[in-house]
Amino acid sequence: MSILLAIVLLIVGLAVLIVGAEMLVKGAAQIATQLGLSHFAVGVTVVAFGTSAPEMFASVGAAVQGVPDLAIGNVVGSNIANILLILGIGSVVAPIGVHRRVRMVELPIMVAITVGAVLLVLDQRLSRVEGGLLAAGLIGYVIFIIRAHKEDIEHGLEDAVGKPKPIWIDLLLVIAGIVGLGLGAKALVAGASQLALRAGVSEGVVGTTIVAFGTSLPELAATIRAATKKQSDIAVGNVIGSNVFNLLSVLGVTALVSPLTMDASMMAHVWIMLGVSVLLLVLCVVRPVLGRVVGSVFVLLYLTYVIVSYAIPGSN
C-alpha cells in the first residue's frame, strides 16, 4: 500500500467514524425518549457513549487487529489534544472562565483518574482485570454526573433531541451508525498502521498525534461553539468529560476486549498526558480564567509536542 493510499484510508476512516457516531447518538436518543426514558437518562447513557464512540471503536479496532500501541496512543493523544489544542483554541476564540466547583471538584477528579490510569500502565501492560477496574470506575463517575448536573443535562438534551420521528427511521440511523463506526475503525487502523510503516515511525506516535487529533474533532467543534456562545462550563466540561470517558470507558473496555501491551517509548506520552492534566488544574486554581495568552501557549505547546513526538527515542 502506498503512503498516499494509507493517508486517504486514514482520513476516510476518521470521517466515517465521526459521521457514524453522530448517527448513532441521534437515532438512539430518539428511540430512548420514545420508549419513555427521561432526557437526563438518555444524556448520561446514549450521548455520553456517543461522544466517546470514535475513540472507542478506533482503540478497540486497533487492539483486535494487533496494534496495541495505536489503541493506547489514541487515548493518550486524545487527552493531550483535548487540553492543549482544543481548550487552547477555545480560549483563543474567547476567554474561558472556570467556575469554583470545576476547579475544586471536577478537575481534581479528572487528575486523580489520570493518576490512577498511569499507575496501572507503569508495567507497560493493561490486563483485563485492570481494564475492568477502569470500566467499573465509570459507574462511579456517572453517578457523580447524575447528582451534580441533572438539571443542566436535561435542559441541554431537550434542545438536542428535537421533534420525534417515526421509530423505524431512528432504528436505521442506529444500525447505520454502528456499521459506520465498525467500518470507519477498520479503515482508520489499516490506514494508520500502513502510514506508520511507510513513514518509518511507530504506530504509537501515529496514534498519539494523527489518529488522536482526528477522533478529537467532535470535541473541538463543540468547544469552539461553546466558547463563541460564552458557555464556559460547557467548554471546560466537554474536555473534562471527554478525558475521563477516554480513560475509564475507552481504555477500560479496550483492555477488556483485548489485554494491552505497549512499547517503552509510549510511557513518555503517558507522562506528558499526566503533566498537562496537572498543569491545567494548577492554572485554573491560580487563575480562574483561561485567557487568550494561555490559550496561545497551550496551542504552541501542542504543536511542540507533535513535533517532538517524532524525535522521542523509539518513535521511528
Whole-model pTM: value is: 0.80
For Cα atoms 216, 222, 225, give the angle at the middle one, nearest 5 degrees: 140
pLDDT digit string, tens, across residues 255-296:
999 999 988 888 999 999 999 999 999 999 998 889 999 999
Q: What's the pLDDT score for residue 40?
A: 47
Cell numbers at residue 163, please?
421533534
Report the mean per-residue pLDDT for the chain: 81
Label each residue of 90-146 as H, E or C.
Answer: HHHHCCEECCHHHHHHHHHHHHHHHHHHHHHCCCCEECHHHHHHHHHHHHHHHHHHH
Measured CA distances, 136 to 4, 48, 122, 205, 241 (Å): 41, 15, 20, 28, 16
Q: What percent of the chain has pLDDT over 70?
A: 84
Q: Higher confidence at residue 99 or residue 235? A: 99
φ, ψ for residue 70, nearest 5 deg: -70, -40
pLDDT in tens, 104-123: 888 999 999 999 999 999 99
Which DSSP state fits 172? H
Contact status, residue 52 vs residue 135, Cβ threshold 8 Å: no
**Of 50-54, 158-162, 248-252, 298-302, where does mean pLDDT reach its minimum?**
158-162
CATH class of the 3-309 domain in this structure = mainly alpha
Beta strands in the chain (DSSP E): 96-97, 125-126, 260-261, 289-290
Radius of gyration of the chain (CA): 19
Amino acid at 190: A
Count of other CB atoms within 10 angstroms of residue 89: 18
125-126 and 260-261 strand pairing: antiparallel
Q: For the segment 118-169, what is each residue's pLDDT rounded down to a tens digit? A: 999 999 999 999 999 999 998 888 787 767 655 555 555 455 445 556 777 8
